[in-house]
Amino acid sequence: MSPSATLAEVQDKNPAFVLHSIKNVSIENREIPKLRTEHDVRVHIEQTGICGSDVHYWQRGRIGDFILKSPIVLGHESSGTIVETGSLVKNVKVGDRVAIEPGVPCRYCDFCREGAYNLCADTVFAATPPWDGTLQKYYTVASDYCYPIPSHMSSEDGAMVEPTAVAVQICKVADLRANQTVLVFGCGPIGVLCQAVAKAYGAKKVIAVDISKARTEFAKKYAADGVFLPERAPAGTDPVEASRAVGEKIVAEFGMGEGFDVVLECTGAEPCIQAGVFAAKKGGTYVQAGMGKENVIFPITTACIRALNIKGSIRYTAGCYAAAVDLVASGKIDVKSLITHRFKFEEAEQAFELVKKAQEDVLKVVIEGVQ
């Protein structure tokens, strides 16, 4: 990466971490973004977390139908301080510290009007082509997609509201209720946050599954009531039958009888998807949140015979961000423990390289904003 100017030379402008093409990034000076409407605000970004989707665009240039065709600024998990407001803004003011919800929908389509704005085709979502993200000194966004955070919450806490809101949405899709049993596949950031949100919502028992011993150990300390580390199947075993055996073993080991009320799949790994179906009780709910291969072998007959409620979860819907702020602010969700590595803005590419390696000891990586 070759910055076009040193940060000291561009303090009065807008340094940004730009993805030009696949595996080609740089820090460059951009124009300070102007307010699009009188309902917009400009935020001085203070902290940004790195998400797997950011890394995916950097390494592959696309996620599904979202394809990188021109340079974009990366980053979408951010917090900061409001430095400018439009004349019609009423909910926040200059000087307010806020968590930024990174996707602003059209507000007019049927999905938006129903409150399912995560399905809006015209959403302006940070760091999703062709829209710029938040890894820049200043970011402009609709004022009602900024959520004030209390003084005891740090800017890092504010940035971590985004993945917390993803977990809130997953639990919302599952219609998760008190006294239910919950099985969560994956002990990465979203997985452990789902475990924590489930506990905060009163789940009776939350079990976490991962192939990483270190991550399952973290999950048990963090929020899970129990953890399961699958063993490698013997050579020659049919993959689906191996997954069935894993699902049934989890149910037996934790005394779940007919199976779990709710299964949250946060890995996208085919064996986990299959095992999740086999571990769900009849009439239970299975939510797919992790994204891996675009097509997998799915045990559809079992899903039908068990009359499972199978749902997909993406981003967040009405109320999720506000709930996430409350969960973090109240201390019910501890996001500080998830942050394992911190970088300065000029070290952004190093931060991305670290996340790409997917090491067991790396959970959440955050980048400090330009001062």
pLDDT tens digits along 26-82: 999 999 999 999 999 999 999 999 998 999 999 999 988 899 999 999 999 999 999
Arithmetic mean of pLDDT, 105-129: 96
pLDDT of residue 233: 87
User: 181-205 burial, b if ≥16 CB within 10 A, otherwise e?
Assistant: bbbbbbbbbbbbbbbbbbbbbebeb
Q: Domain of 308?
A: 165-312
Q: Are 328 and 161 in contact (CB under 8 A)?
A: yes
Identify whether residues 185 and 305 lie together within a single domain: yes
How many CA atoms, within 13 angstroms, populate the side-chain half-sphere of residue 331? 1
Q: What are phi and psi of 206, to 5 degrees?
A: -120, 120
Identify whether residues 16 and 146 lie together within a single domain: yes
Burial of residue 116 (CB within 10 Å: 0-12, 13-18, 19+) is middle
Where residue 99 falls among pLDDT bands split at 50, 70, 90? very high
Q: Is the pLDDT of residue 25 over 80?
A: yes
* Residue 88 DSSP code: T
Identify whether residues 135 and 223 lie together within a single domain: no
Percentage of the chain modeled with pLDDT above 90: 92
pTM: 0.95
Q: Enumerate helices (H) and strands (E) in the chain, giving the number of each.
A: 11, 20
Alpha-carbon gap, residue 24 to 50, rounded angstroms: 17
CATH code (residue 277): 3.40.50.720
Identify whether residues 150 and 268 lie together within a single domain: no
Where residue 2 falls among pLDDT bands split at 50, 70, 90? very low
Residue ending a domain, choose from 271, 297, 312: 312
Q: Is the pLDDT of residue 4 over 80?
A: no
The DSSP annotation for 214-245 comes to: HHHHHHHHHT-SEEE-PPPPPTT--HHHHHHH
Mean pLDDT (the chain) is 95
Q: Give Cα separations from 30 to 17, 18, 73, 276, 344 (angstroms).
A: 10, 10, 10, 46, 19
Arithmetic mean of pLDDT, 92-100: 98
Identify whether residues 169 and 291 lie together within a single domain: yes
Residue 111 sits at the vertex; the CA angle it makes with 109 and 116, to the nearest 5 degrees, is 140
Q: Is the pLDDT of residue 321 over 60?
A: yes
Local structure of 9: helix, strand or coil: helix
Alpha-carbon gap, residue 75 to 2, rounded angstroms: 19
Residue 101 lies in a domain: yes
Count the domains in the chain. Answer: 2
Residue ending a domain, choose from 312, 327, 345: 312
pLDDT of residue 7: 43
pLDDT of residue 65: 87
Q: Is the pLDDT of residue 11 over 70?
A: no
Identify whether residues 113 and 227 lie together within a single domain: no
Q: Are 266 and 312 in contact (CB under 8 A)?
A: no
- Tokens representing residue 115 in the block: 């409150």
Alpha-carbon gap, residue 41 to 32, rounded angstroms: 12
Arithmetic mean of pLDDT, 9-25: 86
CATH code (residue 141): 3.90.180.10
Arithmetic mean of pLDDT, 332-342: 98
The DSSP annotation for 240-292 comes to: HHHHHHHHHHHHHHTT-TT-EEEEEE-S--HHHHHHHHHHEEEEEEEEE----
Identify whether residues 68 and 46 lie together within a single domain: yes
Arithmetic mean of pLDDT, 245-261: 98
Where residue 12 falls among pLDDT bands split at 50, 70, 90? low
- Residue 95's closest CA among 41, 144, 157? 41
Where residue 3 falls among pLDDT bands split at 50, 70, 90? very low
Q: Which residues contact 231 (CB under 8 A, 6 or more apart)?
A: none
Local structure of 207: helix, strand or coil: strand
pLDDT of residue 237: 92
- Residue 85's closest CA among 3, 31, 149, 144? 144
Tokens 């008190």 belong to residue: 178
Amino acid found at 106: C
Least confident stretch, 10-14, 67-71, 247-251, 264-268: 10-14
Q: Is the pLDDT of residue 168 over 80?
A: yes
Identify whether residues 238 and 171 lie together within a single domain: yes
